[in-house]
Amino acid sequence: MDYDSEQNSVIGLGNSTSSINSLKDVRRYEKRTLACPSGCGIHLHLNEIPSHDCIRDLKQKVQGMEENLAELESRVAEMLAIEAYYKDKLTTQEGKMEEMTIEIKDLVLERSRRDEIFSSKETFYKEQNAALKEQVAKLEKRMHGLPRRPSNERVNEDEYEAVQRVERDWAIRYDKLLAEKIALETLFHRKEREFAQEIAVMKEEVKALRDSLRLERDVMALEYDQANFDKLQELIDQLEDVVKRKKEAVYGMEHDYNQTDEDYISEDLEDMKILNNNNVIKHGFNTSTMGSSELEITNSA
């Protein structure tokens, strides 16, 4: 695309330097040659420039640069997709951490509530156990203080066994409650350790994801900046070459054009005079006008 614009500008420059107004100009235009804009030094006809090897190589280079640019853009799009994926994953991990933090807070509140319930029940059972022990002690004192009578011995033994049975039941209930409290505390401590380990692992994963995302972003930025710098440098070099070749082509074209004018002026001057005389006779112009027109035509040629 850049070369096409360059070629059109060169051809337009050639067309502007010599306007085709007569058969003589057509003959001169057909014989004109231009130096190759790529700098190989070969003089080409105007219709041979598009099929020249140097021009084809330049077009291939431009096409290769466009393909490299497309590949770079695809890599940038891929890196942006990877960045979005890691951002999404990071957001998911942060959401999980927030959920686990809320769950741990709920467990702590549940633990405090259970501790209050267990402490109140433990106090109640201790008071009941102490009251039962006091009652048993009183019954034992009464049994030891009373004389042994065959009729009442059986009744006192039954009362003592009943008291012992009630005391054992309360002790069993207390032991069960204490065992349940210990089991729940053990389960809570185990869950708390597991949650702490999971949080530590998730924090490490989040940190690794952030570091990876930062490194990939830095690498992507460096690659993109380096590619832009290389492309800009290459375009600047090509622009300088094109400007230089344009200058050389314009200088060569003017040189060839001057040489061609010197060859054609001597052989076409008589034809131009005859044409001007015929125009004067036909339209009734005076000789001074004819002389000025000859001078203008000569200067334009």
151 Rama sector, left if φ>0, alpha if ψ -120 to 50, beta otherwise: alpha
CA angle 229, 230, 235 (to 5 degrees): 100
Residues 7/55, Cβ–Cβ less than 8 Å: yes
Please state, in angstroms and rounded to a whole number, the distance separating the CA atoms of residues 250 and 253.
5
Q: Residue 38: which of 53, 21, 60 has the closest Cα?
A: 53
Residues 69/231, Cβ–Cβ less than 8 Å: yes
Please state, in angstroms and rounded to a whole number, the distance separating the CA atoms of residues 223 and 72.
9
Residue bearing tokens 């009464």:
142
Residue bearing tokens 């067309």:
15
Indicate whether 135 pLDDT > 70: yes
Please state, in angstroms and rounded to a whole number, the distance separating the CA atoms of residues 199 and 287.
108
Tell me the pLDDT tens digit for each residue of 203-228: 787 777 777 777 777 777 776 666 66
Q: Residue 3: which of 40, 32, 36 has the closest Cα?
A: 36
Residues 257/18, Cβ–Cβ less than 8 Å: yes
Residue bearing tokens 């140097």:
54
Band (pLDDT 50/70/90 cuts) for residue 24 is: low
What percent of the chain clears pLDDT 90, i.e. is strictly above it? Answer: 0
Backbone angles phi, psi at 239, to 5 degrees: -65, -40
Higher per-residue confidence, 191 vs 146: 191
Higher per-residue confidence, 282 vs 84: 84
Please state, in angstroms and rounded to a whole number, the distance separating the CA atoms of residues 15 and 50.
17
Task: Tell me what the mean pLDDT of segment 39-48 comes to.
Answer: 71
Please state, in angstroms and rounded to a whole number, the distance separating the CA atoms of residues 211 and 224.
20
Please state, in angstroms and rounded to a whole number, the distance separating the CA atoms of residues 206 and 92.
10
237 Rama sector, left if φ>0, alpha if ψ -120 to 50, beta otherwise: alpha
Helix axes of 53-145 and 2-17: crossing angle, nearest 10 degrees? 150
Indicate whether 91 pLDDT > 80: yes
The neighbour count for residue 71, using CB atoms within 10 Å, is: 11
Residues 208/89, Cβ–Cβ less than 8 Å: no
| pLDDT of amino acid 277 | 57
| pLDDT of amino acid 273 | 57
Mean of all residue pLDDT scores within the chain:
69
The neighbour count for residue 297, using CB atoms within 10 Å, is: 16
Task: Tell me what the mean pLDDT of segment 157-174 comes to.
Answer: 77
Residues 107/192, Cβ–Cβ less than 8 Å: yes
Tell me the pLDDT tens digit for each residue of 240-260: 777 777 777 666 655 554 445
| pLDDT of amino acid 165 | 81
Band (pLDDT 50/70/90 cuts) for residue 16 is: very low
Indicate whether 51 pLDDT > 80: no
Residues 298/261, Cβ–Cβ less than 8 Å: no
Roughly how many angstroms between the first and final C-alpha of the chain, as a whole number? 34
Instruction: Write down the pTM of the prediction.
Output: 0.32
- For residue 35, the surrounding DSSP H or E stretch is strand 33-35
